[in-house]
Amino acid sequence: MASCKSQYNEHCSLLLPMLGWFVFSLMLSIYNKIVFGAGQMAFPCPLLLTSVHFLMQWIFSASLSSIWSETFGGGRVQSMPWREFLLISVPCGLVTSGDIGLSNLSLVRVSISFYTMIKASTPIFVLMFAFLFKIERITWQLLCVVGIIALGEFLTVEGEVSFDLVGMLLCLTASVLSGARWTLVQLKIQKLDPPLKTTIATMRVLSPSMFGSMFLLALIVEKPWIALSQGYFDDLGEAFGTIGLGLVGAVFAIAMIICEFYLIMNASAIILMIGGVIKEMITIVVGVAKFHDKLNSINIAGCSIVFLGVVLYKVHFHLSKKHGHDAGEDGDEPLAEDVRYSKVQNPSDIGPVANGQMELGFVEDSNEDYDDLDSKFSIT
């Protein structure tokens, strides 16, 4: 009885943060589509507004890790030599901002449902870069998973009713950058000694480069002093409205990250895997219901195959992690693809991008079973 009650309390404690993750992720998806989408508000400077989100994440993470340094790992960041900081922040931040910037630009042209399905191709590019940098070795199981996801993506594109080539290429390029970002993070952040303690510390390291690169790109590409010269800063009320528009998106993103951070620290990989897939399915349903996205039988079949591939991808890595862990307990040398599980010591990591914001993760200490980083995130 006591055991059942303990399990009940444990799982019930995850309901509120899981609900918050769903709600804030969904609100961020709706916000991005309404603010950036053609036929909606069509805000003329999506990159500039995204840079405001990054700036707020920088301020938020710097404030928390400075005020509660011991809790959020601010001391490790403050003690970091400038060379070490820049070698991590610049490459990881640039690739992350490129991923998120292109994701938000694609929402100007494509439906939220199509965006979600295309971004589900991220595992293909995660594996591609992992193979190139010899983080993973090629196996027939992984090739089958890649083939399943690729087939689903082909059917998704083939069945798209209002197909936009530029929007699709923007979204697909964002998925490629998301795969590159995973590899960079593994190569850079996981090798830190001592490691970054929390997600907030990781956010503090990456957000300055994300903000700087996105803000500079917005100035070059969007020329906001021209695009926003009429109707956005004509008077004090419009100025506050425009600034508030950026702050609302930043609040949604930060709230989503906090909910996800709690889940990553307290929930199993399987729970997060199921929750992630459900979250993306809800996003597609909302796209159909609110934005009248059109799906046909080919779309639906492609979407189903993609999600099947994503689930198989996560299950494969979860089983690989367990196999590597069991091999280590038996005194056997772990397989090449399991090395990263056996050597991780409290690193923070960046998960795939969802809704144009970074999703952040945390791996628990070496006394715990290492839930695979890849299996702890929704692939969007």
pLDDT tens per residue, range 267-304? 766 677 677 778 888 888 888 888 888 888 888 888 88
Query: Tokens 């059109």 appear where?
Result: 294
Confidence of residue 174 (pLDDT cuts 50, 70, 90): very high
Given a contact cutoff of 8 angstroms between Cβ atoms, the answer to whether 55 and 144 are in contact is no
Q: Which of 81, 59, 99, 92 is nearest to 209 (CA)?
A: 92
The length of the chain is: 380
The residue among 267 and 238 whose pLDDT is bigger is 238
Query: What gap in Å lies between CA 63 and CA 38, rounded to an integer?
Result: 36
- Give CA separation, 209 vs 28, 82, 92, 130, 175, in Å: 22, 13, 8, 24, 20
Highest mean pLDDT among 155-159, 250-254, 361-365: 250-254
Query: What gap in Å lies between CA 20 and CA 259, rounded to an integer?
Result: 6
Please state, for a pLDDT cut of 70, what percent of the chain lies above it.
Answer: 79
Query: What gap in Å lies between CA 262 and CA 18, rounded to an integer?
Result: 9
Query: What gap in Å lies between CA 272 and CA 85, rounded to an integer?
Result: 31
pLDDT of residue 328: 56
pLDDT of residue 268: 67
pLDDT > 60? residue 114: yes
Summary mean pLDDT of the chain? 78
Query: What gap in Å lies between CA 108 and CA 338, rounded to an integer?
Result: 40
349: β partners: 361
Query: Tokens 């964002």 appear where?
Result: 174
Q: Which of 195, 209, 199, 200 is nearest to 76 (CA)?
A: 195
354: β partners: 357
Given a contact cutoff of 8 angstroms between Cβ atoms, the answer to whether 36 and 192 are in contact is no
**Terminus-to-terminus CA distance in the chain, angstroms?**
40
Element (H, E) at 361: strand 357-362
The residue among 153 and 34 whose pLDDT is bigger is 34
Lowest mean pLDDT among 51-60, 130-139, 282-291: 130-139
- Give CA separation, 371 vs 198, 225, 318, 338, 378, in Å: 16, 47, 7, 12, 14
pLDDT > 60? residue 6: no
Highest mean pLDDT among 6-15, 186-195, 351-360: 186-195
| HSE of 78, CA atoms in CB hemisphere, 13 A | 14
pLDDT of residue 279: 82
Query: Mean per-residue pLDDT for 351-376?
Result: 39
pLDDT > 80? residue 5: no
pLDDT > 60? residue 377: no
Question: pLDDT per residue over 58-113, tens digit each?
Answer: 999 999 999 999 888 888 898 899 999 999 899 988 998 899 899 989 988 998 88
Question: pLDDT per residue over 11-26, tens digit each?
Answer: 567 888 888 988 998 8
- Give CA separation, 316 vs 140, 143, 313, 350, in Å: 12, 12, 5, 20
pLDDT > 80? residue 349: no
Q: Three-class SS of residue 348?
A: strand
